[in-house]
A and B are shown apart, each in its own frame.
Chain A
C-alpha cells in the first residue's frame, strides 16, 4: 500500500495529528516545567474542555462560543484546582503529586460520566469548515485542515506570551530556577497559579477544538494523555518548543508507520521515545539537569 500519493497523504496527516498533540502537550510541559508537578489530570482536563464546549454549543449553537467557553471554563478549573489542591503538593514528593492528580482525573472523568453517561457526544465543526477539501494528491476533511491553522495560531499566541511578555519571562525563569525567582521578590505563588491556569486553558482549548474530530466520551483524555507524555519526553520536559517538535514527530511516526504496518504505529512511537531517552535523556530540546 506504499504509493507516492499515500506517502504524501500520510506526511500531511502526521502534521495534522502532530499539531493537536503539540497543543495538548504544551500545556502539560509548561506546568511541569514551572511547577514541577506532573499533572496526570491533564488528559481529563482536555476532556473537560470538550464537554464544557459541548454544553456551550448545545446552548448557543455557535462553535466560537463553544471554544471560548471550553477554554475559559478550564482556566477557572485550573486556577481553582491549583489554589485548592495542587499548591499544597509543591513541597511534597512526586509520588503524592502523581496520586493526587490521578485522583482528580478519576473525579473529573466519573463526574462527567455521571452527568452525561458514556454515550458519545458530538460537536459539529463550524459551517465554514465542514466537508472535504481536495488537495490534488488527496482529499482531506476541511476541519482538520482548519485545525492545523487554529493550532498554529494558538501555539503562536502561547509562544508570544511565554517569550515576549514579562509574565512569560518570569515563567521561563521559574522553569530554570524557581527559588532564585522567589528570592528576587517576585510572587512565585501567584505566577504558579497563572501558569497552571494557562496550562489548563491550553488543555481546554485543545479539548474543544478536537471535539469535532473525535466524538466526546468521558475516556477521551485517557489515551491522549499517554501520547502527550510521549511527546513531552521526546521534545524535552519543560520545553515549549520541544513540545511542538515532539508533537509533530509523534504525529509523523504514527502516520508513516501505519503505512507499512498499522499494527506497529504505536510500537514505533514508544520505540522512538526509548531511543530519545537512551541517546538524549533530557529530550530533543530539553535542558540537562532540569527536573
Chain B
C-alpha cells in the first residue's frame, strides 16, 4: 500500500514536472516550433508535406500574357518576380513587411513557374492543376480577371492549396465566392465605390446623369453595381444607360452610339485592360470625350500612357497604388526604386499588388512557422497589424480580405507632368475599414480548413 502510494506520489510528481517543463519549454520556444510539432502530426493535405520537404518550395503563377489583359499581366508578373527575388535574398523591403524572414521562406528557397492564363478561367485552372500535380505547388497566384480569381479560389479550396489573388476587382472574390484557402490584398468594387463616390459628389455635385460601360462578367457587374448604388443613394445620380460588352470586344461603336444618344453627363468606364483603352479611345473618336466627363472606378494600369494624358486629364480614378506614394510611405519608395532599377519603369498597381501578396504570404508562413496550410490560414486570420507600402494594414479573418486604404488619383494636365510617367496625382488616401461592407454582406462563407 505504502509503496504503491509512494509510487503513485512519485509518478504524480514526475507527471507534474514533465507537464510543467513542457509548458515552460513551450512558452520559451518560438510559437512556430510548437505549431510545427503539431502540424507534423497531421495527415497530408493538399501538397503538404510533399511540397515543402525539399530545400525549396514552388509557387504556381498564372497571369495573362496574351489577350485583352496581357499588358497588365506582364506588369503583375514582374511584381511577383521581384518579390521572389527579394524573399530569397532577404531584402530589407521584405523584412520590413515580414520581420521574421531571413532568406527564403522558413529557410527554403522559393521557386516558381509561370503560365499564360490569357485571362481565361479554364486556362488558368488547367495550368495551376499542372503546377499542383507536377511541381507540388504550395501556393497559387495570378488572375487579372476576377473570373479567373473566382475559378482559382474554387480550385484552391478543392485541392487544399493556398491561393492569393492577383488583380481582382469583383466583390465576389472575397464575397459570395470567398474560400478558406483564398486571400485578396487589393481593393475591389465596393471599396472603390465607397472611396471614389464621395470624391465625385464633392467635385461634381448631386443629381447627375451617368452612362456606364461594363464588361460582361463578375468584375464588371459588381463594380458597376457598387458604383451605381453609391451614386444613386448618396447623390441622386441616375444611370441613363449601361452598355454591357463581352471581354475583348473588337469594337465599341455600337455601345458608344447608344451612349452618345443617352444624354449622359458622365461616362463611367468599368471596362479594363485593352478593352478600357479601346473604348476610351473610341469614345474620344465619337466626340463623347471630352463632352462627357470620364470616370474610372477601377484603375487600369497603363491606361494613361496608352490613351494619352490629354484624355486622362482631370479624370478621377480609384486605385491600389500609384508610384508617387513614395513621397509618403518609405516602403513604397523602396519598392518603386527596386522595381525601377530592375525593369526600367515605375511600377503600376498590378506589380505592387503582386509584390504585396507574396510578401504578406511570406509573413503569414513565417508567423505560422510551418507550411501546413490550415496553420498558415490561421496565421493569416490571427489579428495583427502588418506593414505595407500604403501604411499599416490587417487581414479580415471573416472574409480573407485585406483592410487597406483605397487611393484616389486625378489625371494630371500634360503640362504639369514632371516626368514621362507622372500621369496621376494622389488626391486622397481613404482608410480601408470605413469603405468595406460587413464581411457577410456579400454572402461570404469561407468553408472548411481541412
Contacts and interface: CB of A to CB of B under 8 A. Distances in A.
Interface string A12-39: 0110110000000000000000000000
A94 to B, nearest CB: 25
B260 A139 contact: yes
A139 B250 contact: no
A32 to B, nearest CB: 21
A258 B274 contact: no
Interface stretch (B63-71, B185-193, B197-205, B417-425): B63-71
B281 A215 contact: yes
A9 interface: yes
Interface stretch (A112-120, A180-188, A278-286): A112-120
B237 interface: no
Contact of A140 (B66, B74, B286): B286
A254 B251 CA distance: 10
B420 to A, nearest CB: 14
Nearest to B245: A262
Contacts of A118: 65-66, 70-71, 74
B34 interface: no
Contacts of B243: 258, 262
A117 B70 CA distance: 9
A253 to B, nearest CB: 10
A139 B287 contact: yes
Nearest to B259: A1
Interface stretch (A57-65, A190-198, A217-225, A240-248): A217-225
B19 interface: no
A204 to B, nearest CB: 17
Given A113-B66, A255-B257, A223 B274 contact: no
Contact of A6 (B244, B253, B258): B258
B244 A262 contact: yes
A97 interface: no
A10 interface: yes
B55 interface: no
B274 A120 contact: yes
A255 B254 contact: yes
By CB atoms of chain A within 10 A, which of B70, B240, B251, B262 has the most?
A: B251
In this complex, the interface size class of chain A, counting residues with CB under 8 Å from chain B, is: 35 or more
A165 interface: no
B334 interface: no
Interface in B36-80: 65-68, 70-71, 74
B286 A139 contact: yes
B257 A219 contact: no
B71 A223 contact: no
Interface in A109-150: 109-110, 113, 117-120, 122, 132, 138-141, 143-144
Given A217-B274, A219-B66, A262 B261 contact: no
B244 A219 contact: no
Contacts of A266: 246, 249
Interface in A244-291: 254-255, 258-259, 261-263, 265-266
Contacts, number: 117
Contact of A122 (B261, B281, B286): B281
A138 B302 contact: no
A6 to B, nearest CB: 4
Contact of A144 (B248, B261, B285): B285
A219 B251 CA distance: 13
A265 B244 CA distance: 9
Dominant SS at the A interface? helix
B336 to A, nearest CB: 20
Interface in A208-240: 213-215, 217-220, 222-224, 227
Contacts of B65: 118
Nearest to A6: B261
Contacts of A254: 254
Contacts of A258: 243, 254-255, 257-258
Interface in B375-408: none
Given A139-B287, A144-B285, A215-B278, A6 B257 contact: yes
B70 to A, nearest CB: 4
Given A143-B285, A144-B285, A1 B254 contact: no
A144 B281 CA distance: 13
A91 interface: no
A120 B306 contact: yes
Nearest to A119: B71
B369 to A, nearest CB: 41
Contact of B287 (A119, A132, A214): A132
B74 to A, nearest CB: 7
A138 B285 contact: no
B278 A132 contact: no
A5 B241 CA distance: 16
Contacts of B242: 262
Contacts of B258: 1, 6, 10, 258-259, 262
Interface in A85-115: 109-110, 113
A124 to B, nearest CB: 11
Contacts of A117: 71, 74
B257 A215 contact: no
Given A213-B251, A219-B274, A259-B254, 9 more contacts: A1-B241, A13-B254, A16-B253, A110-B66, A120-B278, A120-B306, A213-B282, A219-B68, A263-B244
Report the 7 A-B pairs with minimum CB-CB distance, sorted nearest first. Answer: A258-B254, A118-B70, A223-B250, A263-B244, A6-B261, A141-B285, A132-B287
Interface of A: 1, 3, 5-6, 9-10, 13-14, 16-17, 109-110, 113, 117-120, 122, 132, 138-141, 143-144, 213-215, 217-220, 222-224, 227, 254-255, 258-259, 261-263, 265-266
7 contacts: A6-B258, A113-B70, A218-B66, A218-B70, A219-B70, A220-B250, A258-B243
